[in-house]
Structure 1
Amino acid sequence: MPLGALRRSPLVDQAVQHLREQITEGHWPVGTRLPGENALAQTLGVGRSTVREALRALAGAGLVRARQGSGVFVIASEPAEDWPARLRRAAITDVYEVRMMVETQAARLAAARRTDEDVAAMEAALQAREKAAGEDDAAFVDADIALHAAVVAAAGNPVLTDLFAEFAPALREGLIDMVELLELRGHDRNPGHDAHAALVAAVRDGDAAAASDLLQAELEQTLARLHTKPGA
């Protein structure tokens, strides 16, 4: 596909699209040195600043890399898959195994670092989970995840908090499917209440070992149920 002048805005997005197509369609194979900024700007009919922004976007997508004094080279023929996309297509059991590693350690930190505000947030989330027992499965799962998020937040580590937030959408989808498929709330509308109440109490009381053990046991039980799902 030959390059051509761009006529519509936003110019940067169009430049990115045109340059990406040259790479993904094989016109510029891996290892190829791209034309210089001046040449690209002239061919595309845009300014050098637009070309520079487009090249930065391509570098962020993992398609090109600048080499000091040598130029910009193609390093991949397909964009790198971002983390949220990777989570969306991952098996829920794989996501859950990583969740266990993250949350059990977060519970230990939470027991050591929790503030009065953290305790209040966890207790409110526990009450909200109990209230959601009277609602549909999606609302109950949302309340359950919110309680776990409150425990993670009590660890006082923003990276852990952000990491859990990245997991949440994949967890939500898998857990709703599991609850509905296995009819887990058929006899008990609020499954796991005692374990969650004990978890909040352990974090509140500063018992790191108990908090971690309780969470490990609960998540292992859920993971075992997820493994019974078709296609898990």
Structure 2
Amino acid sequence: MPIGALRPSPLVEQATRHLRDQITGGHWPIGSRLPAETALAKTLQVGRSTVREALRALAGAGLVQARQGAGVFVVATVPGEDWSTRLRQAAVTDVYEVRMLVEVEAAQLAAARRNDEDVRALHAAVAGRRAAAGGDHGAFVDADIACHSAVVAAAHNPVLTGMFAEFVPVLRQGLIDLVDLIGLRPEDPPHGVDGHEALVHAIERGDAEAAGDCLREELQRTLDRLHAV
């Protein structure tokens, strides 16, 4: 398929798709050097900034690699799986272990950065989780995730917030399956309520070490159950 000029907008997406098709179609085999940005911009009839963004996207997909002073080279002809795909395909226990690393750090940051609005949101989330315990399993898991989301939000770090959001779809189904296996009943005491309340109180009083310890212990208990099923 010959490389040619692009139609207007969205130019970056079009440029990325066009160059990716050239690579996956064998026009540029592994090891070959792509034409310079200026040449690609002229051929595609776009600006160099558009080409630069397209090359960044291709590098993110694992197809090309920039080498200082040498140019951009093809390193693969099949795009790598993106983060979301890898999470969906991973075992829930593996995802949970990474979740622990993210959330414990988030809890410690939350203790240092929380504001009054965050504290109110945390108390409301814990109350919602307590109210949902013993009822519909899906609703309980959603309330549990909302509680943890409030902790991450209180850290005021958009990267941590984004990472946690990526975990949620995988975690949700894994936790629903776990709650089903545990067989929580309406008459059972609220699952994990003491640990979550201790976590919120630690964040509220600004005790980062205690907040991290509370969350680590709470998540470790759930991870142990996941390993056991």
Runs of at least 5 residues in structure 2 that lack an aligned partner in the other structure: none
Runs of at least 5 residues in structure 1 that lack an aligned partner in the other structure: none
Whether contact under 8 Å (2:134, 2:187) holds in the other structure is: no
Structure 1 residue 7, shift from structure 2 partner: 8.9
Residue 29 to residue 189, structure 1, CA distance change in 2 (3 Å): farther
Whether contact under 8 Å (1:15, 1:54) holds in the other structure is: yes
Task: State the SS of the aligned residue for 1:79.
Answer: coil
Residue 97 to residue 30, structure 1, CA distance change in 2 (3 Å): same
Could you tell me which residue of structure 2 aligns to residue 89 of structure 1?
89
Between Structure 1 and Structure 2, how many residues are aligned? Answer: 225
Q: TM-score, normalised by structure 2?
A: 0.78
Residue 70 to residue 192, structure 1, CA distance change in 2 (3 Å): closer
Could you tell me which residue of structure 1 aligns to residue 113 of structure 2?
113
Higher mean alpha-carbon deviation, 147-156 vs 53-62, is at: 53-62
Whether contact under 8 Å (1:3, 1:18) holds in the other structure is: no
Counterpart CA distance in 2 for 1:4 and 1:186 is: 64
Could you tell me which residue of structure 2 aligns to residue 193 of structure 1?
193
Whether contact under 8 Å (1:38, 1:48) holds in the other structure is: no
| 2:106 maps to amino acid | A
Structure 1 residue 223, shift from structure 2 partner: 0.2
Counterpart CA distance in 2 for 1:208 and 1:55 is: 41
Residue 20 to residue 135, structure 1, CA distance change in 2 (3 Å): same
Summarize deviations over 1:135-174 as a string: whole Å, max 9, x none.
4212211110111121222234333333322322222222
Could you tell me which residue of structure 2 aligns to residue 164 of structure 1?
164
Higher mean alpha-carbon deviation, 14-23 vs 84-93, is at: 14-23
Residue 130 to residue 19, structure 1, CA distance change in 2 (3 Å): same
Task: State the SS of the aligned residue for 1:227.
Answer: helix
| 1:157 maps to amino acid | N
Summarize deviations over 1:115-151 as a string: whole Å, max 9, x none.
2222111001111112223642122111101111212
Whether contact under 8 Å (2:95, 2:171) holds in the other structure is: yes
Residue 28 to residue 187, structure 1, CA distance change in 2 (3 Å): farther
Written as runs of structure 1 = structure 2, the 5 A alignment for 1:124-139 is 124-133=124-133, 135-139=135-139
Task: State the SS of the aligned residue for 2:73.
Answer: strand
CA RMSD of aligned residues (A): 3.2
Q: TM-score, normalised by structure 1?
A: 0.77
Task: State the SS of the aligned residue for 1:212.
Answer: helix
Task: State the SS of the aligned residue for 2:78.
Answer: coil
Higher mean alpha-carbon deviation, 7-16 vs 89-98, is at: 7-16
Q: Percent identity?
A: 60
Could you tell me which residue of structure 2 aligns to residue 47 of structure 1?
45
Task: State the SS of the aligned residue for 2:225.
Answer: helix
